[in-house]
């Protein structure tokens, strides 16, 4: 099943990429400089948006099939990038060694957010930035949230442990980050239960 997800991932996201995600990625990454760590980089959809000058790019992806596609795309678009087999909870990097951590559609599928966010905070330098784009739980009390809760057990298996009802903004605060910017906007072109998104910049306190 994992290999099938890797094969279909770009196709599944193609409509949302065209309608909003690609522009959002570009917006978040346009000012990234220094050592940039893209966590759970998937098939490499962020690659085209990372500045090529004044940057060192590290890509982590624990899924073997996704990492194979990521490696091929990086060889074409960013041959200087380093591709590592590592989960968000155990990054093979020194403390305070990264200027920018990138999380795009990753924190929905880590087993637990707290250990992953603690690890991201560990590798960030003082004053560093976590840029994020994540789908999250719908507004409390909404019909969409009720549907997310109904669908989530099945979606968890279909979408490789992707959770629908996480409050990632609160998880960032609980992990010791300050939300420098936060924007909520529906993702366009996809299924409704993954449409609520947040994106922005967080800094470690």
- What's the chain's average pLDDT? 95
Give the pTM. Answer: 0.94
3-class secondary structure, 179: strand
pLDDT of residue 12: 83
Q: Which of 52, 18, 12 is nearest to 32 (CA)?
A: 52
Q: Which of 140, 101, 147, 142 is nearest to 124 (CA)?
A: 101
pLDDT of residue 5: 63
Structure-token pair, residue 61:
């992806």
pLDDT at 81 over 90: yes
Domains of the chain: residue spans and CATH: 2-204 (3.40.50.150)
Structure-token pair, residue 24:
């959002």
pLDDT of residue 9: 81
pLDDT at 1 over 70: no
Q: What is the pLDDT of residues 83-101, one digit of tens each?
A: 999 999 999 999 999 999 9
Q: What is the pLDDT of residues 53-80, one digit of tens each?
A: 999 999 999 999 999 999 999 999 999 9
Q: What is the pLDDT of residues 154-170, one digit of tens each?
A: 999 888 889 999 999 99
pLDDT of residue 16: 96
Q: Which of 61, 63, 60, 177 is nearest to 114 (CA)?
A: 177
Split at pLDDT 50, 70, 90, the class of 2 is low
Split at pLDDT 50, 70, 90, the class of 8 is confident
Q: Which of 153, 146, 77, 122 is nearest to 69 (CA)?
A: 77
């Amino acid at each position: 099943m994992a290999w099938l997800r890797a094969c279909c991932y770009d196709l599944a996201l193609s409509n949302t990429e065209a309608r909003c995600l690609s522009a959002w990625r570009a917006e978040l990454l346009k000012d990234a400089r220094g050592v940039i760590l893209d966590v759970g980089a998937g098939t490499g959809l962020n690659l085209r948006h990372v500045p090529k000058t004044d940057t060192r790019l590290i890509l982590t992806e624990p899924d073997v099939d996704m990492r194979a596609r990521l490696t091929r795309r990086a060889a074409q678009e960013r041959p200087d990038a380093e591709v590592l087999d590592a989960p968000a909870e155990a990054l093979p990097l020194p403390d305070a060694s990264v200027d920018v951590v990138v999380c795009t559609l990753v924190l929905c599928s880590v087993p637990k957010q707290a250990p992953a966010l603690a690890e991201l905070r560990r590798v960030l330098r003082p004053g560093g930035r976590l840029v994020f784009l994540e789908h999250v739980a719908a507004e409390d009390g909404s019909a969409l949230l009720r549907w997310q809760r109904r669908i989530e057990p099945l979606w968890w298996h279909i979408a490789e442990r992707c959770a629908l009802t996480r409050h990632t903004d609160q998880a960032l605060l609980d992990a010791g980050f300050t939300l420098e910017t936060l924007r909520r906007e529906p993702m366009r072109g996809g299924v409704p239960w993954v449409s609520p998104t947040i994106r922005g910049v967080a800094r470690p306190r």
